[in-house]
Structure 1
Amino acid sequence: MMDKKEAREALASADALASRMRGGNRRPGPVVFLLGLAMMVMTAVYGLLIEPSTQYAVPVVLLIPFFALVIYTATRPVLPRHYRTLYALTTTAGAAVYTLVVTLGTVFFSGEPLWWVPGAVLCGMPFFVIGVLERKAARTPGARP
């Protein structure tokens, strides 16, 4: 059986662990939204300013915000149930949309605002979806330890 001193030590240890977990679970939601805006702007600018002779390696630079999103979602220490799956599906869908928008836009719609502006908005959507999920998780009681 535990005596009172051991019980107090165990509670203090549990409180310290819970505090560390809460500190590691800070949700920089505005950063995710800013990454989404950066992705939209970069994609639109690239699409509207490209020339048919532009190197195909240039769109790789546009993937920097997307890589940041993948790293962000993969390194969340504490998440509500099924969020890892939602993050994986959202980033996979975002990669597919980005690939489609940039590939088709570069080949067929060079400089066409009717293609690149909606395409840029679609490329930013995964960031906004994850930002909304993060806000929802932050407001849900019991989502944090």
Structure 2
Amino acid sequence: MMDKKEAREALASADALASRMRGGGNRRPGPVVFLLGLAMTVLTAVYGLLIEPSSQYAVPVVLLIPFFGLVIYTATRPVLARHHRTLYALTTTAGAALYTLTVTLGTAFFSGEPLWWLPGAVLCGVPFAVIGVLDRRTAGTPGATP
């Protein structure tokens, strides 16, 4: 049977662990996510407005660096509010689909056309904004459920 001293030690250990978990969940570089979204938007727009029909198809892969940063960011969050992992997965999947659609159709049919590339570039930045808003909302919520 556990005596009072062991019980106090166990409670202190649990409190210390809970404190560390809360601290790990509050380290949210929200501005970094917004900057990644801005970079994604600008790079997509610049690529689309400056491409030539004979350009290399490898260039859009380099433009995915901010998107890979978003995927890594969402996968490495130590503590998340309930259902945010699912929301992150759906958001990044939708972002990948938007980017693929924008770049593939834009390169094939709308080379250098601002009416295609500017709205498409803005849509490519939307997943970053969604995740940034979710993180800000979670950071402001005391006792968010992991």
- The normalised TM-score by structure 1 is 0.93
Cα deviation for residue 141 of structure 1 reads 2.5
Partner residue in 2 for 1:43: 44
Instruction: Check whether the contact 1:50–1:110 (CA below 8 A) recurs between aligned residues.
Output: yes
Partner residue in 2 for 1:133: 134
Partner residue in 1 for 2:18: 18
Question: C-alpha deviations, 1:16-49, integer Å up to 9, x for none?
Answer: 2123212322111111111000100110111111
Cα deviation for residue 79 of structure 1 reads 1.0
Aligned alpha-carbon RMSD (Å): 1.4
Cα deviation for residue 78 of structure 1 reads 1.2
Amino acid at match of 1:29: G
Instruction: Check whether the contact 1:22–1:144 (CA below 8 A) recurs between aligned residues.
Output: no
Structure 1 gap segments, 5+ residues each: none
- The normalised TM-score by structure 2 is 0.93
1:115-134 correspondence to structure 2 within 5 Å: 115-134=116-135
Q: Distance in 2 between matches of 1:27 and 1:144?
A: 16
Instruction: Check whether the contact 1:138–1:144 (CA below 8 A) recurs between aligned residues.
Output: no
Q: Distance in 1 between matches of 2:139 and 2:20?
A: 16
Partner residue in 1 for 2:65: 64
Instruction: Check whether the contact 1:48–1:110 (CA below 8 A) recurs between aligned residues.
Output: yes
Count of residue pairs the alignment pairs up? 145
Amino acid at match of 2:9: E
2:90 corresponds to 1:89: yes
Q: Distance in 1 between matches of 2:23 and 2:69?
A: 21
Q: Identity over the aligned pairs, expressed in percent? A: 88
Cα deviation for residue 132 of structure 1 reads 0.5
